[in-house]
């Protein structure tokens, strides 16, 4: 996908207002550069390094076990939330996305961690695929009430997804 976003990482940076630590990921090196730049721009002058403000960027290609393990090694406490904002574009990547999320959530299974998927519907096929993949990966998917909206020309909705 073309790394067109000067705003890449903004969702994660905003989430930092509500979380102690946010790890922003992408598989694309150009996008990662933009994310790191945005983290740097966001950091206060008194922070010695951009990472000391609770925001870090890590390379993650969905399904890449080495990268998933590396992230879990660096963040052994796991994650309370995995957030995906408008990330469902290619059907072939969806099983890898769900597999990755399952591995990240499983670390804290007892804590009922959540995958929040801010989904933008671009193809009917994808709409049904995310539901069937969640089922295959033994995840429970709930539409968050009152989150249906129009995003550009598309319908959007937020799903809350947990491990069964
Ligand atoms: C529309 S952007 C979403 C931007 C992001 N949620 C934000 O708030 O800035 C979709 C992103 O998903 C990433 N992506 C697509 N396929 C991926 C994959 N297989 N593994 C990891 N990231 C992927 C793309 O590189 C792109 O930056």
Domain boundaries, the chain: 1-59, 79-164
Per-residue model confidence (pLDDT) at position 110:
75
| Ligand 1 pocket list (CB less than 6 A) | 1, 5, 8-11, 26-28, 31, 60-62, 85-87, 93
The Cα 41–Cα 39 span in angstroms is 5
**Confidence at 48, pLDDT banded by 50, 70, 90:** low
Average pLDDT, the chain: 91
Question: Does the CA dihedral 73-51-114-149 come out positive or negative?
Answer: negative
| pTM, two decimal places | 0.92
Q: Is the dihedral of CA 57, 63, 69, 75 positive or negative?
A: positive
Give me the mean pLDDT over the 71-83 stretch: 95
Q: Tell me, which fold does domain 79-164 have in CATH?
A: Rossmann fold (3.40.50)
Give the separation between CA 12 and CA 50, rounded to whole angstroms.
14
> What mean pLDDT comes out for the span 14-34?
96
| Cα separation, 22 vs 27, whole angstroms | 17
| Index of the ligand 1 atom closest to the CA of residue 90 | 16
| Distance of CA 23 from the midpoint of ligand 1 (Å) | 14
Residue 46 Cα to ligand 1 midpoint, Å, equals 30
CB distance 40 to 74 below 8 Å: no
* pLDDT, average across residues 77-94: 95
Residue-wise pLDDT for 99-114, tens only, equals: 999 999 999 877 889 9
pLDDT band at residue 23, thresholds of 50, 70 and 90? very high
Predicted confidence band of residue 52 (pLDDT cuts 50, 70, 90): low
Tens digits of residue pLDDT in 129-155:
999 999 999 999 999 999 999 999 999
Higher pLDDT: 131 or 50? It is: 131
Q: 16, 28, 90: which to mutate for ligand 1, most atoms within 8 A of CB? A: 28
Q: What is the mean pLDDT of residues 54-60?
A: 96
Predicted local distance difference test score (pLDDT) of residue 1 = 41
């Amino acid at each position: 996908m073309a790394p067109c976003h000067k705003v890449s990482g903004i969702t994660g940076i905003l989430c930092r207002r509500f979380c102690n630590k946010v790890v922003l990921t992408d598989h694309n090196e150009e996008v990662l550069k933009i994310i790191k730049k945005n983290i740097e721009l966001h950091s206060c002058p008194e922070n010695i390094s951009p990472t000391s403000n609770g925001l870090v960027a890590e390379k993650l290609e969905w399904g890449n076990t080495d990268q998933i393990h590396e992230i879990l090694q660096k963040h052994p406490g796991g994650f309370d939330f995995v957030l995906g904002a408008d990330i469902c574009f290619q059907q072939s990547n969806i099983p890898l996305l769900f597999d990755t999320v399952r591995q990240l959530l499983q670390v804290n299974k007892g804590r009922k961690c959540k995958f929040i998927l801010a989904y933008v519907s671009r193809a009917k096929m994808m709409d049904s695929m995310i539901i069937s993949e969640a089922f295959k990966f033994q995840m429970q998917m709930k539409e968050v009430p009152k989150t249906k909206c129009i995003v550009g020309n598309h319908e959007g909705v937020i799903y809350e997804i947990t491990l069964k």
